[in-house]
Amino acid sequence: MIVDVHAHYHPRAFEQALARLPERRTGGRGFAGGTHPVTDDAAHIAQRLEMMDDAGVGVQVLSPAAGWAPYSQDQNAAAEAAHVANDTLAELANSKPDRFKALVSLPLPHVDASLREIERGLDQLGMIGVNIHCSVLDRPVVDDAFLPIYEELDRRHAVVLFHPTGNGASSPLVNDFGLGGAIGTSIEDTLVAMHLIARKIPSRFPAITFIVPHLGGPIAMLLQRIDNQFSMASRELPEPPSVTARRFFYDTVGHGSHAALLCAWKAFGADHVVPGSDFPVLLSYETYARTFAWIREVGLPEADVEQILERNAPRVLGLAETARA
C-alpha cells in the first residue's frame, strides 16, 4: 500500500480564513497558479478516493500547498486561519481514518500560538505530524525565535514535512523572470535543508523526523560540493553536511524525472525516499496513477522500489498498522 506523504487539501472555509490575512495575495484564485480550485465538495472527495484506488494509494497525508500557509504578522488572523485549516483537514481525516491523515498547520511567526496549535492538533484532533513552509514571511524557519517550536516537536518525536512557500526564495532573480514554479520551489527545498544543517537543528533536536519535498530539489547532486565548500570544521558542525542531509527523508515528487530519482536514490539511499504526489498539482500533466507508476520504470532494484513505495512512509509516519489493514 502506498502512503502519499505530500497531498494537498483546501476546504472553502480555509480559503475564506486565509482571505482575511493582510499578507494574502492569492485569495479566491485557487492554487497552483489558479489551475486547481478549493476541494471540499463531496463529489471531489469521492473522485479523489477513486483516483487513490486506481493509483494503489491507501492513505493520503493532507497539508496546504504553496501560498496557503496561515502565516501573518496579525496574530489573531493567523491563529484563526491555522485553527480553521486544522479543523477542516482533521475533519476529513477523522471521517475516513483508513484513507486520510493530516498535518498540523502553525500560525507562524507566533510561537506561543503555534505551540498551542501543536498541542491541539496532535493531542485533540489526532493529526500525525506538522507542516512548516520553507520560510516564514521571508524569515528562515530556523530563526532563533522558533527554537521553542523545535524543542516541543523534539519532545514529541514529531514528523515535520516542509513545503515551499511559493515566494521564489524571496529573490527577484527568480520572480522577475517568472521562474517560481519552474525552479523557485526546488531552490526553497534545498535552502530549507541547508538552513537546518547550518543551524545544527537535526543534532540539537535529534528526535524530529524531517521530510523535504520534491526529492530535496538539487541538493542530491550537491552533497560533495557542500562538504567541500560548507565545511564541517569551519562551520563547527557536528558532522559533514552530507551526513546530516542523509538523515532527512525526501519525497518522490519529481515530475517523472528518472534522472532526478536516480540521483536522490544514489545520494540518500532507498530507505530515505518516500512516496509523494503534490496532489492535485501534477494532475495538470499526468494522471494520479502515473505519478507513482513511473517510479517502477526507472530501473531501480525491485527491492528498493518496494522500499520506496510500500515500506518507508508507514514506518516513518507510524502507520504500520494502517498499512497492514
C-alpha cell at 217: 530539489
Q: Which amino acid is at 318?
A: G
Residue 34 falls inside a structural domain: yes
Residue 180 falls inside a structural domain: yes
In which domain, by residue range, is 201 found? 2-320
Residues 6+ apart with CB under 8 A from 255: 282, 285
What tens digit of pLDDT does each residue of 94-133 get? 999 999 999 999 999 999 999 999 999 999 999 999 999 9
Could you give the number of structural domains in the chain?
1
Q: How far apart are CA 117 and CA 109, in angstroms?
A: 13
Q: How far apart are CA 205 and CA 191, in angstroms?
A: 19
What tens digit of pLDDT does each residue of 146-158 get? 999 999 999 999 9
Residue 178 falls inside a structural domain: yes
Find the CATH number of the domain harbouring 181: 3.20.20.140
Output 170 or 34, whichever has higher pLDDT: 170
Q: Is-contact 280 241, C-beta < 8 A?
A: no
Residue 287 falls inside a structural domain: yes
SS3 136: strand
Residue 325 falls inside a structural domain: no
pLDDT score, position 28: 47
Residue 24 falls inside a structural domain: yes
71 φ/ψ angles, rounded to the nearest 5 degrees: -105, 135
What tens digit of pLDDT does each residue of 37-93 get? 787 899 999 999 999 999 999 999 999 999 999 999 999 999 999 999 999 999 999
